[in-house]
Amino acid sequence: MRKVIVLEFITLDGVIQAPGGQTEDPSGGFQYGGWQAPYADPVISEVMAEQIKPPFDLLLGRKTYDIFAAYWPHHEDFWTGVNAARKYVASRNPAYQPSWNNSVLLTGDVAGEVRKLKDESGPDLKVYGSGELVQTLLRHDLVDELWLKIYPITLGAGKRLFADGAIPAAFRLTGGQITPGGIIVATYERAGEVQTGEVDV
Protein backbone atom coordinates (compact mmCIF):
# COMPACT_ATOMS: atom_id res chain seq x y z
CA MET A 1 0.00 0.00 0.00
CA ARG A 2 1.36 3.39 -0.91
CA LYS A 3 0.94 6.69 0.88
CA VAL A 4 -0.75 9.96 -0.01
CA ILE A 5 1.61 12.76 1.02
CA VAL A 6 0.37 16.36 1.02
CA LEU A 7 3.11 18.99 0.62
CA GLU A 8 2.13 22.59 1.27
CA PHE A 9 3.60 26.02 1.80
CA ILE A 10 1.35 27.50 4.49
CA THR A 11 1.04 30.73 6.48
CA LEU A 12 0.52 30.92 10.24
CA ASP A 13 -3.20 31.46 9.65
CA GLY A 14 -3.45 28.45 7.35
CA VAL A 15 -3.42 30.06 3.90
CA ILE A 16 -2.02 27.94 1.06
CA GLN A 17 -3.17 30.03 -1.90
CA ALA A 18 -0.66 31.19 -4.53
CA PRO A 19 2.61 31.00 -2.58
CA GLY A 20 4.75 30.92 -5.71
CA GLY A 21 3.77 33.95 -7.77
CA GLN A 22 1.46 36.93 -8.17
CA THR A 23 -0.46 35.41 -11.08
CA GLU A 24 -0.54 31.84 -9.74
CA ASP A 25 -4.09 32.00 -8.36
CA PRO A 26 -5.75 35.43 -8.00
CA SER A 27 -9.23 33.91 -7.57
CA GLY A 28 -11.43 35.50 -4.95
CA GLY A 29 -9.53 38.77 -5.35
CA PHE A 30 -6.44 37.31 -3.62
CA GLN A 31 -3.77 40.05 -3.56
CA TYR A 32 -0.79 38.33 -1.96
CA GLY A 33 0.39 35.89 -4.62
CA GLY A 34 4.08 35.13 -4.22
CA TRP A 35 4.08 35.52 -0.44
CA GLN A 36 6.77 32.89 0.11
CA ALA A 37 9.44 34.62 -2.00
CA PRO A 38 10.78 37.07 0.64
CA TYR A 39 11.61 34.16 2.97
CA ALA A 40 13.72 32.12 0.56
CA ASP A 41 17.03 30.87 1.94
CA PRO A 42 19.49 28.05 1.14
CA VAL A 43 18.03 25.74 3.80
CA ILE A 44 14.48 25.77 2.41
CA SER A 45 15.98 25.16 -1.03
CA GLU A 46 17.76 22.08 0.33
CA VAL A 47 14.56 20.88 1.99
CA MET A 48 12.64 21.17 -1.26
CA ALA A 49 15.39 19.44 -3.23
CA GLU A 50 15.08 16.50 -0.84
CA GLN A 51 11.28 16.42 -0.83
CA ILE A 52 10.91 16.36 -4.61
CA LYS A 53 13.32 13.48 -5.20
CA PRO A 54 11.93 10.51 -7.14
CA PRO A 55 10.41 8.02 -7.05
CA PHE A 56 6.91 9.47 -6.84
CA ASP A 57 3.60 9.75 -8.64
CA LEU A 58 1.77 13.06 -8.66
CA LEU A 59 -1.83 13.49 -7.51
CA LEU A 60 -3.05 16.96 -8.44
CA GLY A 61 -6.17 19.07 -8.71
CA ARG A 62 -6.89 20.43 -12.16
CA LYS A 63 -5.76 24.03 -11.51
CA THR A 64 -2.42 22.94 -10.07
CA TYR A 65 -2.06 20.37 -12.83
CA ASP A 66 -2.53 23.04 -15.51
CA ILE A 67 0.12 25.24 -13.87
CA PHE A 68 2.55 22.34 -13.63
CA ALA A 69 1.82 21.12 -17.18
CA ALA A 70 2.60 24.54 -18.61
CA TYR A 71 5.90 24.88 -16.74
CA TRP A 72 7.65 21.62 -15.85
CA PRO A 73 7.97 20.00 -19.28
CA HIS A 74 10.40 22.84 -20.08
CA HIS A 75 12.27 22.87 -16.74
CA GLU A 76 13.02 19.27 -15.81
CA ASP A 77 16.62 20.24 -15.07
CA PHE A 78 15.22 21.72 -11.83
CA TRP A 79 13.04 18.69 -10.97
CA THR A 80 14.47 15.37 -12.03
CA GLY A 81 11.87 12.77 -12.96
CA VAL A 82 8.83 15.02 -12.95
CA ASN A 83 8.01 14.47 -16.61
CA ALA A 84 8.44 10.69 -16.47
CA ALA A 85 6.31 10.36 -13.32
CA ARG A 86 2.70 9.20 -13.56
CA LYS A 87 0.33 12.12 -12.99
CA TYR A 88 -3.22 11.69 -11.72
CA VAL A 89 -5.36 14.80 -12.22
CA ALA A 90 -8.73 15.21 -10.48
CA SER A 91 -11.36 17.15 -12.38
CA ARG A 92 -15.13 17.58 -12.16
CA ASN A 93 -15.22 17.74 -15.96
CA PRO A 94 -15.20 14.22 -17.43
CA ALA A 95 -14.35 15.71 -20.84
CA TYR A 96 -11.16 17.34 -19.58
CA GLN A 97 -8.14 16.12 -21.54
CA PRO A 98 -4.81 16.18 -19.66
CA SER A 99 -2.05 17.50 -21.89
CA TRP A 100 1.04 16.38 -19.97
CA ASN A 101 2.59 13.05 -20.87
CA ASN A 102 1.87 10.03 -18.67
CA SER A 103 -1.29 11.60 -17.20
CA VAL A 104 -4.50 9.92 -16.03
CA LEU A 105 -7.82 11.69 -15.44
CA LEU A 106 -9.72 11.04 -12.19
CA THR A 107 -13.36 12.13 -12.20
CA GLY A 108 -16.60 11.17 -10.50
CA ASP A 109 -15.85 9.47 -7.16
CA VAL A 110 -12.34 10.87 -6.73
CA ALA A 111 -12.06 9.64 -3.13
CA GLY A 112 -12.89 6.12 -4.27
CA GLU A 113 -10.37 6.33 -7.10
CA VAL A 114 -7.66 7.50 -4.71
CA ARG A 115 -8.41 4.60 -2.37
CA LYS A 116 -7.84 2.23 -5.28
CA LEU A 117 -4.56 3.97 -6.13
CA LYS A 118 -3.37 3.64 -2.53
CA ASP A 119 -4.01 -0.09 -2.65
CA GLU A 120 -1.88 -0.52 -5.76
CA SER A 121 1.84 -1.09 -5.76
CA GLY A 122 4.04 1.79 -6.83
CA PRO A 123 5.63 4.96 -5.52
CA ASP A 124 3.93 7.25 -3.02
CA LEU A 125 1.41 9.77 -4.31
CA LYS A 126 2.54 13.35 -3.70
CA VAL A 127 0.03 16.21 -3.67
CA TYR A 128 1.27 19.76 -4.26
CA GLY A 129 -1.05 22.75 -3.89
CA SER A 130 -4.42 21.43 -5.15
CA GLY A 131 -6.45 23.05 -2.38
CA GLU A 132 -9.86 21.66 -3.37
CA LEU A 133 -8.53 18.15 -3.89
CA VAL A 134 -6.83 18.28 -0.50
CA GLN A 135 -10.19 19.09 1.13
CA THR A 136 -11.63 15.91 -0.39
CA LEU A 137 -8.67 13.84 0.77
CA LEU A 138 -8.90 15.20 4.32
CA ARG A 139 -12.66 14.63 4.57
CA HIS A 140 -12.21 10.99 3.55
CA ASP A 141 -9.16 10.31 5.75
CA LEU A 142 -6.92 9.63 2.76
CA VAL A 143 -3.91 11.72 3.85
CA ASP A 144 -1.11 9.64 5.33
CA GLU A 145 1.46 12.41 5.78
CA LEU A 146 1.56 16.22 5.83
CA TRP A 147 4.85 17.84 4.78
CA LEU A 148 4.37 21.48 5.76
CA LYS A 149 6.54 24.55 5.30
CA ILE A 150 5.08 27.08 7.75
CA TYR A 151 5.91 30.72 6.99
CA PRO A 152 6.06 33.52 9.59
CA ILE A 153 3.26 35.56 8.04
CA THR A 154 -0.52 35.97 8.30
CA LEU A 155 -2.65 37.03 5.35
CA GLY A 156 -6.18 37.11 6.75
CA ALA A 157 -7.76 35.90 3.53
CA GLY A 158 -7.17 33.18 0.98
CA LYS A 159 -7.69 29.47 0.49
CA ARG A 160 -6.80 27.50 3.60
CA LEU A 161 -5.46 24.02 4.19
CA PHE A 162 -8.39 23.01 6.40
CA ALA A 163 -10.97 25.20 4.68
CA ASP A 164 -13.72 22.57 4.89
CA GLY A 165 -12.58 21.11 8.17
CA ALA A 166 -11.27 17.59 8.54
CA ILE A 167 -12.29 14.42 10.30
CA PRO A 168 -10.89 14.08 13.83
CA ALA A 169 -7.45 12.56 13.36
CA ALA A 170 -4.18 12.36 15.29
CA PHE A 171 -0.84 13.03 13.64
CA ARG A 172 2.70 12.40 14.86
CA LEU A 173 5.58 14.81 14.24
CA THR A 174 8.31 12.80 12.52
CA GLY A 175 10.70 15.55 11.49
CA GLY A 176 11.24 19.26 11.75
CA GLN A 177 13.64 22.17 11.54
CA ILE A 178 13.65 25.97 11.38
CA THR A 179 15.32 27.76 8.49
CA PRO A 180 17.30 31.02 8.82
CA GLY A 181 14.35 32.81 7.21
CA GLY A 182 12.04 31.63 10.00
CA ILE A 183 10.23 28.88 8.08
CA ILE A 184 9.19 25.92 10.21
CA VAL A 185 9.56 22.67 8.29
CA ALA A 186 7.33 20.05 9.90
CA THR A 187 6.54 16.52 8.77
CA TYR A 188 3.53 14.74 10.27
CA GLU A 189 2.26 11.20 9.76
CA ARG A 190 -1.20 9.87 10.53
CA ALA A 191 -1.28 8.35 14.00
CA GLY A 192 -4.65 6.83 14.74
CA GLU A 193 -7.63 8.31 16.53
CA VAL A 194 -7.83 11.45 18.64
CA GLN A 195 -7.14 10.73 22.32
CA THR A 196 -8.58 12.82 25.13
CA GLY A 197 -7.96 13.10 28.84
CA GLU A 198 -7.47 15.47 31.75
CA VAL A 199 -4.48 17.77 32.15
CA ASP A 200 -2.95 17.78 35.61
CA VAL A 201 -2.29 21.28 36.98
pLDDT digits (tens, 9 = 90+) for 113-122: 999 999 999 9
Taking only the tens place, the pLDDT of each residue in 58-107 is 999 999 999 999 999 999 889 999 999 999 999 999 999 999 999 999 99
Angle at 104 between CA 116 and CA 75, to 5 degrees: 125
Per the structure, the complete domain to which residue 52 belongs is given by 4-190
Candidates 159, 132, 161; CA nearest to 146 is: 161
For residue 176, being part of any structural domain is answered with: yes
For residue 136, being part of any structural domain is answered with: yes
Q: What is the CATH number of the domain that holds 112?
A: 3.40.430.10
Domain count, the chain: 1
pTM of whole model > 0.75? yes
For residue 145, being part of any structural domain is answered with: yes
Residue 3 · residue 124 · CB < 8 Å: yes
pLDDT, residue 60, reads 98
For residue 69, being part of any structural domain is answered with: yes
For residue 198, being part of any structural domain is answered with: no
Residue 193 · residue 168 · CB < 8 Å: yes
Answer whether residue 201 shows pLDDT above 90: no
